Amino acid sequence: MARVTKRTGSEVEFDRSKLEISLRRAGTSESMAREVGSKIEQVVSEVDPGRGLTTKDLRSGVVSELKSMDASAAERYQNTHRLTAKASDKVESHVCQLHPGTMRSLELSPGASLRLEHAGKSQTVEVEESSSAGQREIHLHNEALRALETPPNTRLAVRK
């Protein structure tokens, strides 16, 4: 099976079950997640092992496959990411702080709105750029974490 190069530069084996979980978190049905997972696994198995693929390539293939089945599911998947929540008293309760690189990869501008979701709870916050946030982190006020009923260091679903 092909190796997938993550944004951090680390490499992992393609894992169909992780893809299906990601699809379910983005709101697809279980059967659609299995079908897309199967098709993407087939594509991945045909990739030259020496070349591999990136998470960006993989995500693009998933979005393309979803578009042929359900355009709204494709949009939800494309706009859903997972970031690790960090508590910060330097952030206002209605704001989140993201690393400049994370903002670029998510195609966000300062002042944009993000919807945060965890275990059935959701909250909308305004985006601020901050180099003190790590690449895959989202800095939130303790009040925002309490509203989501989540402790720090929990991975949150983040939607544009």
Same domain flag for 106 and 56 = no
Residue 13: domain span: 3-77
Same-domain pairing of 18 and 65? yes
Return d(Cα 23, Cα 15) in angstroms, integer.
13
| Average pLDDT rounded to a whole number, residues 135-160 | 93
- pTM greater than the 0.75 cutoff: no
Q: How many domains does the chain have?
A: 2
Q: Note whether 58 and 108 are same-domain residues.
A: no
Query: Nearest to residue 130, comparing CAs of 82, 158, 88, 79?
Result: 88
Q: In CATH, what number is assigned to the domain containing residue 151?
A: 2.40.40.20
22, two tokens:
């990601």
Same domain, 46 and 11: yes
Question: Is the Cβ–Cβ distance between 16 and 42 less than 8 Å?
Answer: no
Domain identity same for 62 and 119: no
Q: What percent of the chain has pLDDT over 70?
A: 99
Average per-residue pLDDT in the chain?
Answer: 91
